[in-house]
Amino acid sequence: MHAPGGGRLVPESAEAPACGKAPVGHVRQGDGSLSVAEPSGAAGKATAGRLPGRVREWRPPWALDLRDALAPHRRGSRDPACRFEPDGSVWRTSHTPDGPGTLRVAWAGDAVEATAWGPGAEWLLDGVPELLGAADEPDGFVARHDVVRDQVLKRPGLRIGRTRRVFEALVPAVMEQKVLGQEAWRAWAYLLRRFGQPAPGAPHLRVSPPPEVWIRIPSWEWHRSGLEAVRARTIIGAARVARRLEEDPGEARLRSLPGIGVWTAAEIRQRAVGDPDAVSVGDYHLPGLVGWALAGRKVDDAGMLELLEPYAGHRYRVTRLLESSGMHPPRRGPRLSVRDYRSF
């Protein structure tokens, strides 16, 4: 089986470096093939309290940085559903259509070794290429600003991956509405540890509950997590139609749900379907970043969209590149503080 998407990001006036020479940590390249493999490390072997998992190898046909590819799916350093380990491996859990599952990905030579546990193991292994960006098609992307061009040269292997799980992307996106990330991540971790199940093969992690469990979470547990009633109602309402969301994850369908606006819909689509054009309009920091990087001034949402217009079809890709540029407008005024609804 050969994964799609082997093209390179090419700047308008400069050739990207050869894929194998990308100056990024944990970057390697293969030939695009997916195969069954014997495990090369402890992940696939029986250890204390852990059964051997199913193992496959995939060789990405571009310079892939595992952590960079999976970073959007981690909700803080203490995310109980996604863990970056010191050895370079990444663990991720999911409640798949076949049931709960755990996935570990790590480099084994020039191949990504994927190991999975649980009823959802086969589904997770089948989706490894898409999760890491194989379905992304960046060939038509042209960098039209120096800062974007520079980031393309630094990250030639950037691809937009997709989890194929819409409701799982929706829940933390709703939690992050109009609050600091730390506040949302605290709620996410609390509710997963309280209502998620231990991850197959990795009992220190948790699998996000299925929709029917989110519906039954009592009001006082939402409060203890730090979420107010508005966001809790949004998640519960979405859980009631979760199956339909998986069938139709379009922006219009998402925004038809109470409490889901343009920002939340974009955050969901970026992760669940790998939409390279989904712009997080309404983000507190993004317009300032885009304006400062592309025009040397702070702009509002309308100004941001105007600056991104030349990149239609790849606007989220551009914001991903700019986020690693280090170019931010000067900070003025006090920083936002983390609120704690549990004391209200």
Tokens in use for 246? 């998986």
Residue 42 lies in a domain: yes
- Please give the chain's pLDDT, 344 residues, in tens: 434 333 323 333 333 323 333 333 356 666 666 665 544 554 444 443 456 899 999 999 999 999 999 999 999 999 999 999 999 999 999 999 999 999 999 999 999 999 999 999 999 999 999 999 999 999 889 999 999 999 999 999 999 999 999 999 999 999 999 899 899 999 999 999 999 999 999 999 999 999 999 999 999 999 999 999 999 999 999 999 999 999 999 999 999 999 999 999 999 999 999 999 999 999 999 999 999 999 999 999 999 999 999 999 999 999 999 998 888 888 765 555 555 544 44
**In whole angstroms, how far apart are CA 215 and each of 99, 235, 241, 242?**
18, 8, 11, 11
- Whether 17 maps to a domain, the answer reads yes
DSSP letter string, 193-249: HHHSEEETTEEEEEEPPPHHHHHH--HHHHHHHT--HHHHHHHHHHHHTHHHHHH--
The four Cα atoms 136, 89, 78, 283 give a dihedral, to 10 degrees, of -20
pLDDT for 218 equals: 98
Q: Is 173 helix (H, G, I), strand (E, B) or coil?
A: helix
pTM of this prediction? 0.85
Nearest to 300 by CA among 319, 318, 281: 281
> Does residue 85 sit within a domain?
yes
Q: Is residue 88 part of a domain?
A: yes
- The total domain count for the chain is 1
**84 lies in which domain range?**
10-138
